[in-house]
Chains A and B, each alone.
Chain A
């Protein structure tokens, strides 16, 4: 089964850029979606199809995907960005949804 690997935690100072990675075998050939989840809340889609932003998501959120790593990039990080972030793909071979293990973003 396809596996997505995320770092358990990432820390960044306010105003700096956070990069959260999602590793997978040839993930660059797949469409990657990213979700933000704050404590006690449901996940919210922040990036879809590697780099597109839903309406209402700040331009500070962007994404990239190449070869074996997809990356969520959060520029000019704010306190309100502190949350868990999950990447997600569709596993074509097994016909199901796969989530990464999640990354806790801490704003220092």
Chain B
């Protein structure tokens, strides 16, 4: 059974750096074809993809946020970490991590419950 769970602060101040962790079970990020992605959703708005990391450490980032994002994995801990620099109130959102397996066009088939982050001074 695949599960994912996001963790991190619920509140950060503008200009600070955000660090979120996705802890998962039921799969290994060292298995060929497996990836974990981050997606966010501002209140009342649509889903926005942020980043993906694959079993071979290949990484992809949203072009609009690439300069602010870093995604890493710790296979031994079954964890994926996302850092986002220079936080702004517009980054207030629920942040989700999700599992995918297969080619680049494969679906995000398992999602975490999400973690709500507020950016405010």
Give A residues with C-beta under 8 Å from B: 1, 30-31, 33, 35, 37, 42-45, 48-49, 54, 86, 88-90, 92, 94-102
> In the assembled complex, how far is the CB of residue B121 from the closest CB belonging to chain A, in whole angstroms?
27
Known: A88-B108, A97-B108, A100-B46. 18 other contacts (CB 8 A): A30-B105, A33-B108, A42-B96, A43-B96, A45-B109, A88-B47, A89-B105, A92-B104, A94-B63, A95-B60, A96-B49, A96-B52, A96-B60, A96-B61, A96-B63, A97-B37, A97-B39, A101-B46
Q: Which of B89-117 contact A (CB under 8 A)?
A: 96, 104-109, 111-114
Give every chain A residue within 8 A of B113 (Cβ-Cβ).
Answer: 42
Give every chain A residue within 8 A of B108 (Cβ-Cβ).
Answer: 33, 35, 43, 45, 88, 97
- Inter-chain contact B104/A95, CB cutoff 8 Å: yes
In the complex the two chains form, what is the Cα distance from A1 to B48 in whole Å?
Answer: 14
Give B residues with C-beta under 8 Å from A: 37, 39, 46-49, 52, 60-63, 96, 104-109, 111-114
Give every chain A residue within 8 A of B49 (Cβ-Cβ).
Answer: 96-99
> In the assembled complex, how far is the CB of residue B41 from the closest CB belonging to chain A, in whole angstroms?
8
- Inter-chain contact A54/B114, CB cutoff 8 Å: no
Given A42-B112, A97-B37, residue A102 in contact with residue B107 (CB < 8 A) = no
- Inter-chain contact B104/A43, CB cutoff 8 Å: no
- Inter-chain contact A43/B109, CB cutoff 8 Å: no
- Inter-chain contact B111/A43, CB cutoff 8 Å: yes
- Inter-chain contact A33/B48, CB cutoff 8 Å: no
Give every chain B residue within 8 A of A99 (Cβ-Cβ).
Answer: 39, 46-49
In the complex the two chains form, what is the Cα distance from A90 to B105 in whole Å?
Answer: 5
Give every chain A residue within 8 A of B48 (Cβ-Cβ).
Answer: 99
Given A1-B63, A96-B60, A96-B63, residue A42 in contact with residue B107 (CB < 8 A) = no
B66 nearest in chain A by CB position: A96
Give every chain B residue within 8 A of A48 (Cβ-Cβ).
Answer: 106-107, 109
In the complex the two chains form, what is the Cα distance from A43 to B112 in whole Å?
Answer: 9
